[in-house]
Structure 1
Amino acid sequence: MIRSMTAYAQRSLQTDRGQLTWELRSVNQRYLDLHLRLPEEFRVLEPQVRDALKQTLNRGKVEASLRFQPDPGAESAHLTLDTQLAQRLGHLVRDLAAQTGSHAAEPDLVNLLGWPGLVTHERLDFEREHVAAVELLGEALLALVAAREQEGAAIAAMIEERLAGIEQQVAEVRAHLPEIRAGLDQRLRERLAALEQPVDPGRIEQEVVLALQKLDVDEELDRLGVHVAEIRRVLGLDEPVGRRLDFLMQELNREANTLGSKAAVVETGQAAVELKVLIEQMREQIQNVE
C-alpha cells in the first residue's frame, strides 16, 4: 500500500503533573526533513524522538511539536518559602517603619512574595513524563501513518483510473493500426506515382516499407503496456515507492512524446495528447507519494 507524504495527527495524554500533546504534520519533500519543537524540560528526548521518526518515516518534511501544559495545583504543591529570608524581611520592614515614624508597620505580603529567592520552585524530576511522552509519540506516529495510508489509498485509486485510461487509448490506437497503415500505404504510392520521372516498382515498395517503419507505433504501444503493468506491480509493494513511480512517469511521458512525433493521422495525435494529460495528472499526485 502506498502512503501519501501529506498528513496530520494529534494525540494528548493527561498526567499527574499536566497534559502532554503531540502534533505531527508532514508534507511532500524529496527526502526526510525533520523539525522538532520540544519544551525545555523535554529537550533531552530529542535524539530519541528523531530516531523514532526516522524508523517510521522515509520521506517528507515532518514537523513534530510537543506541548506540556502543567497542572496549576500540581505546580503549587512544589513551591517553598525561605522562612529565614521572610523573617529578615519582616524585621527590616518594621525597623523601617520605626525609623520613619510610619504607622504601616505590617509588611505588604503580596508584594513581598515577589522578592527574589523568597519563594522557590522545587526542580521536578520529569522522568515519568519523559516515558509518557515517548509512548504518546508512538501513538501519534501510528495515527500519522494511518492518515498517510488513507490518503495513499485515494491516490492509488486515482492512478488506477488513469492507467485504465492509458490502456483504453492504447487499445483504440491498435484498433486503428490496420486502417492507418493502409491509408499511409495508399498516400505514399499516390505521391510516388505522381512523380514526373518513372520510378521502379521495386523502389516504390522499398520507399513504402521504409516510410511505414518510421511511422510504426507498435513498439511504443508495447512499451506503454509494459510500463502500465510495472506501475500496477509497484503500487502493490510494501515499501516506499514514490521515487520509482516518478521514474515510471518519465518513461510513460517519453513514449507518449514518441507516439506524438509519429502521429501521421488524427487518431494517433489525439491519443498522444490524451496520454500526456493522463500522465501529468498522475505525476502531480505521485509527488505526494512517500
Structure 2
Amino acid sequence: ISSLWGDTGEELDENLATLLEGGLALALEDWNEARAAEGRALATDMHSRILRMEEWTGLIAERAPAIKEERVSLLRERLGEALAQSGQELEETRLLQEVVILADRLDVSEELTRLNTHLERLRNLLQSGGDAGRRLDFTLQECFREINTCGNKLPDVQLSRLVVDFKNELEKCREQVQNLE
C-alpha cells in the first residue's frame, strides 16, 4: 500500500492500512457484483433477441416455398409471352430446365439450417458464461452472412423487411457483445 500512496520512507499506520485494504476490497466486490448484474441483463436481452430471430427464421422457412412457386409461375408466364410474340410455343422440357435452375437459385434451406445452428450456438455460449465474447462475435458474423444470403436469394418485399429487422437485431446483439469481456 505504501507504493500506492508514494513511499516517503515513513511507517504507514497499521490501522490506516487495514482500513484502506478493507475499503478497496469492498469497492472491488461492489464492482464485481455490478458487472455480474450487467452481464445477466445483457444475457437476458440477447436471449430475447435470439428467440425473436429464431421465430423469424421459421417465418422465412415458411415463406420460401411460396416465393419459389410465385417465381416459377412468373417465369412460365414471361417465357410464354416472349415465345408467343415470336410465334413459338413454350417447350415443356426447356421450361423444366429453367425451373430447376431457378429453384436451385431460390433454395435457402442450407442457409436456414446453418442460421438455426448459429442461433443455437449463440444461446449455448450465453448459457455457458465465461469468456465467450470473441466466439459470440464470430457466431454473430456467421448469422449476418446467412441472413444476407437469404435476403439476396429470395427477392420478396415482405421477406426483405424481415431480413432488415433480422440484421438490426443482430447488430444490437453485436453492440451488446462489445460490452462483454
Deviating runs (4+, > 6 A) in structure 1?
A: none
Q: 1:261 aligns with which of 138, 152, 159?
A: 152
Q: 2:64 aligns with which of 171, 177, 184?
A: 177
Q: CA deviation at 1:147?
A: 0.8
Conserved? CA contact 1:217–1:259, under 8 Å: yes
Conserved? CA contact 2:106–2:154, under 8 Å: yes
After superposition, residues 107-186 of structure 1 pair within 5 angstroms as: 123-125=10-12, 130=17, 133-134=20-21, 136-186=23-73
Q: TM-score, normalised by structure 1?
A: 0.55
Stretches of structure 1 lacking an aligned partner (at least 5 in a row): 1-19, 21-36, 43-121
Larger radius of gyration: 1
Conserved? CA contact 1:167–1:225, under 8 Å: yes
Which amino acid is 2:53 matched to? I
Distance 2:92 2:118 in 1: 41
Pair 1:274–1:38, CA change in 2 (3 A)? same
1:220 and 2:111 matched: yes
Q: Give the total of aligned pairs.
A: 176
Pair 1:175–1:265, CA change in 2 (3 A)? same
Pair 1:125–1:172, CA change in 2 (3 A)? closer
Render the CA deviation track for 1:80-105: whole Å, top value 9, x for unaligned. xxxxxxxxxxxxxxxxxxxxxxxxxx
1:243 and 2:134 matched: yes
Q: CA deviation at 1:138?
A: 3.8
Q: Which residue is equivalent to 2:5? A: 39
Conserved? CA contact 1:173–1:267, under 8 Å: no
Question: Please, what is the CA RMSD of the aligned residues?
Answer: 2.5
Pair 1:172–1:227, CA change in 2 (3 A)? same
Render the CA deviation track for 1:244-277: whole Å, top value 9, x for unaligned. 1111111111112112211322222122111111
Q: 1:286 aligns with which of 168, 177, 181?
A: 177
Which amino acid is 2:5 matched to? P
Q: What percentage of aligned pairs have identical amino acids?
A: 35
What secondary structure does 2:179 align onto? Answer: coil
Stretches of structure 2 lacking an aligned partner (at least 5 in a row): none
Distance 1:225 1:180 in 2: 20
Greater helix proportion: 2
